[in-house]
Structure 1
Amino acid sequence: MTDAGRFDPVTLQILWSRLISIADEAAAALHRTSFSTIVRESNDFATVLMDAEGASLAENSIGIPSFVGLLPRTLKHMLAEIPKEELKPGDVLITNDPWMATGHLLDITTVSPVFRGDKLVGFAGATSHMPDIGGVLWSADCQEVLEEGIRILPTKLYDGGKENRELTRMIRANVRVADQVMGDIAAQVTAQSVCARRLLEFLDDTGLEDLTELSATLQARADSAMRKAISALPDGTWHHVIHADGYEDMETRIECAVTVKGDTLTVDYAGTSAQIARGLNSVMNYTYAYSVYPLKCALDPDTPRNEGSYRAVTVTAPEGSILNPRYPAAVNARHLTGLFLSGAIYGCLAQVVPEKVIADSSSPSPRPVTTGRDRRGERFSQVLFGSGGMGAGAGRDGLNATAFPTNSGSGSIEAFESSTPVVVWRKDLLADSGGAGEWRGGLGQEVEIEVMSDEPVRLSLVSDRMKHPAGGLGGGAAGAPALAQLQDGRKPHPKGRSMLQPGDRLTMHYGGGGGYGDPAKRDPAALDRDVEDGYVTPEAAQRHYGRRG
């Protein structure tokens, strides 16, 4: 660091890496102390270190993309209700308001101010997906957010280190698995205390009084990197349309226009379907997150992300659309819309920089939510996360059974089975499910589960891609569609609630990723390996590639 207070590149990189390690250590604390498998196994959480103005400085390395850039936005809403002047050491703020935070009630966000003496020097924040939030489970068939669970407006969970017992009693009284929910919230508070301690150690070690100058420098560097990447694109506007299954006969469409002008980029969703009276609506925060994340992946994947990474990008969506719904729209399953945005954006960029993007991926994949009582009479509520195939790109096949743009995973099946009277009998890759192409789409998988309880279990199936599978790029074929059916051939509602009887078996197909490029150009040796590995059957090799593997 120079006498003028500016940071040389080497020092800056060291300091930046240390800040990221602080966010990662906070994430490790959250992961290790959480109660639910959603956090411990599926990694559906994020931790963020912010400066005194609420701008993000560092996010944990494996944070969920839907939380990208959202904690600072949530904090601004919190501070509008509880000004910084009213904060003190030991405070913890909390909210799960979908329009202020991450888009649905199941994600709870907490933030702690960090003080050095009497001076506010930063904020430590965390968000994680709760195993339950009351209401009607995690489902897509509600008509208003008021049905979907308890809504916590910005308030203090802790006031000067003292627990808000009225609030915690209210939460406990309205959720099915109170110990898990409160345990996960406590894990977030623990993570924030770790983040705060490490930040104060960082300031002591570096001799910095606060984060003001370092934050400005880091944000400027991230901003410069993204602007440089955008500047490498030609000016212009490109359009693409994605169709989704929607709800029953109400199919939805996403119209996307990407405009590049100099070192700025705009994503505009004008023409997208109007909001509907079901839980598929994606609030603007969620729409923003799943727009900037795929852009970062494609254009500037190597620079660490912070608030500055997204300054050059503007995201707009018509108010009252499924990508910017008005309160009190139902939003519980907003990922069934938001996870399509990467495909829409990449469909635009493929027209100008096809080598930088991938074909559409199979997300959103089926997610069965089961709740009831186990054989001990104890209440359970569990989600089985699974992934279909990832889209292929120039020079690379899509990854099998790998989520994108989300990165939540199924985790340990043994841990899942220990928490619910549901047995997972099979998880197999699905041959021929990856879209054909010069580069093959990633394979989906077949998952079979059985209810092992002595009484019926309620199932909420949250799924899409059954009518509109992941599309290919550059002549590549679409991946296989998703499927969910019982052992007798009955198909539960793909976005509704039903009952499973003891002994019922549910089979789910997680779709395949889209292929990239003309299938006729696929390397014969690669096709031979596909057939040998069981990824492509000889019949499909003849049908899609015009030759036997």
Structure 2
Amino acid sequence: MYTYQENPITTEIIRSALTTAAGEMNTSLYRSAFSPIIYEMKDCSVGIFNQHAELLGQSAGLPLFLGNLDECIKAVTCSIGGVENYQPGDIYIMNDSYIAGTHLNDVTVISPIFFNEALVGFTANRADWIDIGAKDPGTPMDATEIYQEGLRIPPTKIYDAGEPREDVINLLVTNCRSHIAALGDLNAQIAACRTGEKRYQEIIRTFGIETVERCAQDIIAQSERMDREAIGKIQDGDYMAEGYMDNDGNSDDPVLVKVKVTVKGEDITIDLTGSSEQRRGPINCGLAQTISACRIAFKNLINPDSPVTGGNFRTLHVVAQPGTIFHAQEPAPCGYYYSPLGLLMDLIFKALSPAMKEKSVAAHYGDAMNIAFSGRDPKTNAEFLNFEATAGGWGGFHENDGQSGLICNVCGDFKNMPVEVFESKFPMKVTMYGLRDESGGAGYHRGGLGIVRRYEVLAQESNLYAWFERSKTPAWGLFEGKSGMPPSVVIQRGDNKENILKTNAKPLAFGDVITVKTGGGGGFGHPFDRDPHKVIEDVLDGYISVETALSDYGVLFKPGTLAIDWDGTSEYRISNRK
């Protein structure tokens, strides 16, 4: 059994100091970034690590990023031949999908931390660059190989002992359509690394390196112990689930995601054997990001209220076969790598639901539901590119209804683009934004609602990019709960309407209207068990209609009123429960 080396008060003070330092890193990144996708939408994450690449402190951010920054540090260390080849002031950059796991727009910046000439840790951050030089602005929806998706960067040194390598930096930013934004965002990431480095050195200077390292090991050991205790309470066995994505954006063939979760003692193995081979469309994913998604699902079920550290996930094992969508090999495109990962996480929850009913959750709307516009701004005659994820409904769970209008599980702290910012920066107008009624799956605990967002085009030259998923397998319910509604995208030009879900660089005309409707979450438990008073509240809030109250929830009202017909409700529920 582990013997703690430091007193718990000092340990908690240092834990909080490390978390605060990571928070300052994030703030530095937000405030100095040039692109709205970072400073408004928070498409970034940061972390502070010890010299063994074990996580010590992190801030709110995209959990899908946070879950594998440690793997990126290890990749850089391997590429330079070991930790002895780092020197103070070095900074490295990378975005290779097969190493970092994400798409090429997600750029990772890493720097070593030295104290008294000794390597004591690392800072790392990842941020989404709006453009990385792909064949189309942003992230192409129709790429068939990674070379079409932009500049692919292996672990590369951009600062050498504190001196910038201007030729390398110029090479990187010159290959982006938005040179100034790319350079500004890169400098913001460098500033975030320097902030974390400075704060970690201050913590060491205040408490002493020996105390900090003892506390770090205590924090890591505590996380591992809590994981083991929680897993030990789950009944041993194999738990399985599978589901399908609509397609890969290149063909209409569905994409299989197959999950087997094995619980044995204090260990959990997530085996993805049997999932689809890597596809021609951009839904493939590097192994590091698959591991990150499994870690998110694991953390949602195992001690979700405790902070994440380097001690977590030591009892989690992930199996994914090379050449599949979860362990992609060159030249598979990876632009929308997160689509199968959102489904994967929902399936892990579904698989374990028989053993963990009180912690399980029905499926959520399942994808980032991206929409993007590019073109020429008539006011400035400059090129513009906007890219945003949209919110949707989450699944009901054991204790409550699902959340409405929340970003998907892979995106974490990601924010939607505020209407005021959107309209001030782009030649577009938002004419509707609200919750989508009737979209949540019925259940004892109702699924959350998706959203409706309507855009009007104010540019003569523009293009639409859209990637919407889970229309054929919408958010399912659990324990007799019903599924949520699938997504919908409609382009209206005059009296003509066109339904799409995925499209790349589709030409738009002035005055075109695009209406986006995201999916709702699945219900949890039989809807006829829902308290009729809650059904009335849903009707009054406009979430469901009177007709849905009867058909889905079995609640009858007295004619012309919203007063419950209790006898009629009871009889209807008994007769129609099946």
Q: TM-score, normalised by structure 1?
A: 0.96
Give the structure 1 partner of residue 485 of structure 2: 480
Q: What secondary structure sits across from 1:132 in the alignment?
A: coil
Deviation at 1:162, TM superposition (A): 1.8
Q: Is the 8 A contact 2:469 2:501 kept in 1?
A: no
CA distance in 1, matches of 2:110, 2:211: 19
Tell me which amino acid in the other structure corresponds to 1:314: H
Give the structure 2 partner of residue 128 of structure 1: 127
Q: What secondary structure sits across from 2:499 in the alignment?
A: coil
Give the structure 2 partner of residue 464 of structure 1: 469
Q: 2:432 aligns with which of 407, 411, 426?
A: 426
1:509 and 2:513 aligned: no
Tell me which amino acid in the other structure corresponds to 2:330: Y
Tell me which amino acid in the other structure corresponds to 2:98: W
Deviation at 1:403, TM superposition (A): 2.0
Runs (4+) of structure 1 exceeding 4 A deviation are none
The farther-off stretch of 244-253 and 268-277 is: 244-253
Give the structure 1 partner of residue 12 of structure 2: 13
Give the structure 1 partner of residue 533 of structure 2: 525
Give the structure 2 partner of residue 413 of structure 1: 419
- Unaligned residue ranges in structure 2 (runs of 5+): 557-561, 563-578
Tell me which amino acid in the other structure corresponds to 2:403: L
1:389 and 2:397 aligned: no
Q: What secondary structure sits across from 2:209 in the alignment?
A: coil
Give the structure 2 partner of residue 232 of structure 1: 233
Deviation at 1:491, TM superposition (A): 2.5
Q: What secondary structure sits across from 2:38 in the alignment?
A: helix
Deviation at 1:19, TM superposition (A): 0.8
CA distance in 2, matches of 1:470, 1:104: 25
Deviation at 1:417, TM superposition (A): 2.3
Q: What secondary structure sits across from 1:433 in the alignment?
A: coil
Judged with a 3 Å threshold, the aligned counterparts in structure 2 of structure 1 residues 431 and 512 are, in CA distance, closer, same or farther, namely: same
Q: 1:259 aligns with which of 255, 262, 277?
A: 262
Tell me which amino acid in the other structure corresponds to 2:64: S
Deviation at 1:122, TM superposition (A): 0.9
CA distance in 1, matches of 2:429, 2:376: 15
The farther-off stretch of 118-127 and 247-256 is: 247-256
Give the structure 2 partner of residue 51 of structure 1: 50
Q: 1:547 aligns with which of 545, 555, 566?
A: 555
Q: What secondary structure sits across from 1:484 in the alignment?
A: strand
CA distance in 1, matches of 2:369, 2:455: 13
The farther-off stretch of 236-245 and 135-144 is: 135-144
1:399 and 2:380 aligned: no
Deviation at 1:531, TM superposition (A): 0.2
1:437 and 2:471 aligned: no
CA distance in 1, matches of 2:321, 2:4: 44
Question: What are the equivalent positions in structure 2 for 1:370-385 lying under 5 Å apart?
Answer: 370-375=373-378, 376-385=380-389
- Structure whose alpha-carbon radius of gyration is higher: 2
CA distance in 2, matches of 1:501, 1:300: 51
RMSD: 1.6
CA distance in 1, matches of 2:68, 2:235: 29
Q: What secondary structure sits across from 2:125 in the alignment?
A: strand
Q: Is the 8 A contact 2:50 2:120 kept in 1?
A: yes
Deviation at 1:21, TM superposition (A): 1.0
1:195 and 2:196 aligned: yes
Tell me which amino acid in the other structure corresponds to 1:305: V
Deviation at 1:486, TM superposition (A): 0.5
CA distance in 2, matches of 1:171, 1:103: 18
Q: What secondary structure sits across from 1:99 in the alignment?
A: helix
Deviations 1:365-399 (A, max 9, x none): 42112222212121222112211101110120001
Q: 1:270 aligns with which of 249, 269, 273?
A: 273
Question: What are the equivalent positions in structure 2 for 1:262-301 lying under 5 Å apart?
Answer: 262-301=265-304
Q: Is the 8 A contact 2:488 2:500 kept in 1?
A: no
Deviations 1:267-325 (A, max 9, x none): 11111111110101122111111111122112211221012111110111122111111
Deviation at 1:472, TM superposition (A): 0.7
Deviation at 1:495, TM superposition (A): 4.6
Deviation at 1:196, TM superposition (A): 0.9
CA distance in 2, matches of 1:365, 1:78: 29
Question: What are the equivalent positions in structure 2 for 1:75-90 lying under 5 Å apart?
Answer: 75-82=73-80, 83-90=82-89
Q: What secondary structure sits across from 1:370 in the alignment?
A: strand
Tell me which amino acid in the other structure corresponds to 1:68: L
The farther-off stretch of 414-423 and 120-129 is: 414-423
The farther-off stretch of 515-524 and 286-295 is: 286-295
Q: Is the 8 A contact 2:239 2:262 kept in 1?
A: yes
Q: Is the 8 A contact 1:456 1:500 kept in 2?
A: yes
Q: What secondary structure sits across from 2:404 in the alignment?
A: coil
Tell me which amino acid in the other structure corresponds to 2:514: L
Give the structure 2 partner of residue 175 of structure 1: 176
CA distance in 1, matches of 2:103, 2:426: 24
CA distance in 1, matches of 2:189, 2:89: 14
CA distance in 2, matches of 1:495, 1:351: 38
Q: What secondary structure sits across from 1:355 in the alignment?
A: coil
Give the structure 2 partner of residue 324 of structure 1: 327
Q: Is the 8 A contact 1:141 1:278 kept in 2?
A: yes
Question: What are the equivalent positions in structure 2 for 1:46-195 lying under 5 Å apart?
Answer: 46-60=45-59, 62-82=60-80, 83-135=82-134, 136=136, 137-195=138-196
Deviation at 1:208, TM superposition (A): 2.4
- Unaligned residue ranges in structure 1 (runs of 5+): none
Deviation at 1:343, TM superposition (A): 0.7
Q: What secondary structure sits across from 1:392 in the alignment?
A: coil
Q: Is the 8 A contact 1:138 1:369 kept in 2?
A: no
Q: Is the 8 A contact 1:365 1:511 kept in 2?
A: no
Judged with a 3 Å threshold, the aligned counterparts in structure 2 of structure 1 residues 243 and 118 are, in CA distance, closer, same or farther, namely: same
Judged with a 3 Å threshold, the aligned counterparts in structure 2 of structure 1 residues 188 and 253 are, in CA distance, closer, same or farther, namely: same
Tell me which amino acid in the other structure corresponds to 1:448: R
CA distance in 1, matches of 2:310, 2:207: 22
Deviation at 1:416, TM superposition (A): 2.2
The farther-off stretch of 432-441 and 322-331 is: 322-331
Deviations 1:446-473 (A, max 9, x none): 11112211x3212221221222211111
CA distance in 1, matches of 2:172, 2:464: 23
Deviation at 1:81, TM superposition (A): 1.8
CA distance in 2, matches of 1:298, 1:139: 34
Q: Is the 8 A contact 2:97 2:285 kept in 1?
A: no
Q: What secondary structure sits across from 2:447 in the alignment?
A: coil
Q: What secondary structure sits across from 2:497 in the alignment?
A: coil
Q: What secondary structure sits across from 1:121 in the alignment?
A: strand
Q: What secondary structure sits across from 1:425 in the alignment?
A: strand
Q: Is the 8 A contact 1:287 1:323 kept in 2?
A: yes
CA distance in 1, matches of 2:146, 2:473: 26
CA distance in 2, matches of 1:14, 1:386: 38
Aligned residues: 544
1:206 and 2:207 aligned: yes
Deviations 1:466-521 (A, max 9, x none): 22211111110110100111112113451533122222111111110110000000
